[in-house]
Structure 1
């Protein structure tokens, strides 16, 4: 696969395959921490982990997998602060139809099944979207795909990286079909038995599907409430058990609907707790400033509060759980917190903040464990403040969905 990408001139995160613990350490040192490490054959991101240092790598190899000549592990450079993108396409050997380009709301490193995503992309530049489409077409042709294909990309600083390619249907296919009105699974099935895209999906119908004038957001549904003791924090191992879709004329309203569909009711007033890791502090400032302008109160742990105060955002300091009572968990249990933004990394920091996330779950307080999710929630709150969301049938967004029913059968 590396040879193919080099031949096509496509980027891929630095990576390697290790057949022994010593080889795994050598590869990690060569490509640089943090790294994403996983067994060579997994589904749902099982046993996949982001490792930040040699100690974490040794612990992973000791506890998670047995590395051997027949069971190697794959190690990839973790692209921090990258945007992940899912693409579904259909190829017939002559043409490639890119059915949907979905921008993940959570950053790269969160399993694609756990991340919310937007179709069309809500923040990527048109040139980046065009480049992603070009690379998808090149991969489909190089791999001689007949039928469906899913590609996962990461975008960082305008550069596009190929994460993985799967010549099969993805879990996103039903979402893409509903959002665009194109029955891509049916089209792919007929392509696989010899029909051609030019007949099944004429170019005028492709253009109509691309210009529907609405935004669809897929959100994951999690079973955390049914499993006491499970941590809410997201990572490369999949935890969701379902998904919902919100659709509306803009991203904020569509995201708000997706949150309601997944059981999250965003507040329009009250107190927001903010505690983020150092690398996220700059990114969360504007979202917090916006919330304050709408009348929300902010409380934060000392490090986050210091950054917000430096940026002129009013905030009150609250103790972490291990810093003495009353602490943030006490405030949450007392009903004094209506929304939580909490990002963290490192085994100790994650363990220290576990009770915070668990309390949010048990008290039905909306929580976001990524900055991207937090910022999206602020856009959704802004949409909700403008008025009630409208309920409309899916067909009203798809005035002329593609239908194959009138075409000749083989």
Structure 2
């Protein structure tokens, strides 16, 4: 599964996608190979959680935990297999073959996990993400395309992404270059762009028109006034951990107070842009999980793996009556 936010954001706060949507087939093979080697060398029986990072095409292992992770329920629901139940039986001596789980399941649908934060209950908390976990819950969006699946996850988290309107952008200097293609996409979709002076100047140099507005410290009307008046429909504001400025803090708190969708990472902004584009093009619908599972069953990429033991063939028979055995379960 692939995290949307980059390394440095706590994995419990990062949105994630299953199956990975931006990795090459070669990189996925490398990840699978390294994971298999680690599991065998460490002698892990049951579940194991590994976090990797990719930079410059090089795969780095951040940590290995011989235990289940908080994403096991998400993955189980995404693929329709009770992984905790299977792992428990494996730890008790059963084989995966006995349990009917003998092939990798790569779902055709896209599942997105989004974190839910309690910031509205803590007036002085800064909503910017970092290495310390701040989320207290999770939601899930499923669809056949990444954009709609991500949009559904945002709806479940309480944010309805805008299809039109005004986007406010204020990003740290190290993020400005990566922000350009996202801003261009939003502009091409018809959004009006507002930005702080530094960001607006950078976008202008890149050929993207935007309107500069004041920070809170630069006088009124400033960005928080625009938010209060309902003139901003999406906020993109990045910072660098605790070094984030007081102005940026007021912007993020304003977005939270007035329930304006916001993102504090470039990766999140990219995903939001893709989701908005998908919402503008596609008519989305709600389907039961069983429908997604049935489609994959019909396509031959799913096998039954319920956690129940497969019945072993009985030896040829004696004169003794064979009774029906109960199904094993935990």
**Residues in 2 aligned to 1:378 and 1:167: alpha-carbon distance in whole angstroms:** 36
Q: 2:59 pairs with 154, 157, 160, which one?
A: 160
1:128 alignment counterpart: 27
Q: 2:224 pairs with 305, 329, 354, which one?
A: 329
Q: Which runs of 4 or more aligned residues in structure 1 lie more than 4 Å from their structure 2 counterparts after TM superposition?
A: none
**Residues in 2 aligned to 1:161 and 1:394: alpha-carbon distance in whole angstroms:** 34
**Residues in 2 aligned to 1:346 and 1:224: alpha-carbon distance in whole angstroms:** 16
Q: 1:407 pairs with 300, 310, 320, which one?
A: 310
Post-superposition offset of 1:235: 0.6
Q: 2:15 pairs with 104, 116, 124, which one?
A: 116
2:286 alignment counterpart: 391
Structure 1 residues 261 and 323, CA gap change in structure 2 (3 angstroms):
same
1:18 alignment counterpart: none
Q: Are 1:215 and 2:103 counterparts?
A: no
Q: 1:169 pairs with 41, 49, 68, which one?
A: 68
Contiguous gaps of at least 5 residues in structure 2: 298-303, 312-327
Give the secondary-structure state (helix, strand or coil) at the position aligned to 2:98. helix
Alignment of 1:175-186 (within 5 A): 175-186=74-85
**Residues in 2 aligned to 1:222 and 1:284: alpha-carbon distance in whole angstroms:** 24
2:272 alignment counterpart: 377
Structure 1 residues 360 and 202, CA gap change in structure 2 (3 angstroms):
closer
Q: Per chain length, whose mean CA-contact separation is higher, i.e. which structure has more relative contact order (CA < 8 Å, sep 6+)? A: 2
Q: Are 1:250 and 2:165 counterparts?
A: no
Post-superposition offset of 1:179: 0.7
Post-superposition offset of 1:202: 4.4
Give the secondary-structure state (helix, strand or coil) at the position aligned to 1:199. coil
1:198 alignment counterpart: 97
1:279 alignment counterpart: 174
Give the secondary-structure state (helix, strand or coil) at the position aligned to 2:158. coil
- The TM-score normalised by the length of structure 2 is 0.89
Post-superposition offset of 1:348: 4.7
1:349 alignment counterpart: 244
**Residues in 2 aligned to 1:236 and 1:346: alpha-carbon distance in whole angstroms:** 8
CA deviation string 1:27-67 (max 9, x = no partner): xxxxxxxxxxxxxxxxxxxxxxxxxxxxxxxxxxxxxxxxx
1:235 alignment counterpart: 130
2:257 alignment counterpart: 362
2:320 alignment counterpart: none
Give the secondary-structure state (helix, strand or coil) at the position aligned to 1:337. coil
Structure 1 residues 348 and 140, CA gap change in structure 2 (3 angstroms):
closer
User: Retained in 1: the 8 A contact 2:163–2:280?
Assistant: yes
User: Retained in 1: the 8 A contact 2:162–2:233?
Assistant: yes
Q: Which structure is higher in strand share?
A: 1
**Residues in 2 aligned to 1:299 and 1:403: alpha-carbon distance in whole angstroms:** 52
1:338 alignment counterpart: 233
Give the secondary-structure state (helix, strand or coil) at the position aligned to 1:398. helix
**Residues in 1 aligned to 2:101 and 2:8: alpha-carbon distance in whole angstroms:** 37
Contiguous gaps of at least 5 residues in structure 1: 1-101
1:304 alignment counterpart: 199
Structure 1 residues 406 and 396, CA gap change in structure 2 (3 angstroms):
farther
Structure 1 residues 197 and 402, CA gap change in structure 2 (3 angstroms):
closer
Alignment of 1:48-197 (within 5 A): 102-197=1-96
Post-superposition offset of 1:383: 1.0
User: Retained in 1: the 8 A contact 2:98–2:310?
Assistant: no
CA deviation string 1:350-401 (max 9, x = no partner): 3331111000001010000000000100100011112332100011111145
Post-superposition offset of 1:178: 0.7
Rg larger in 1 or in 2?
Answer: 2
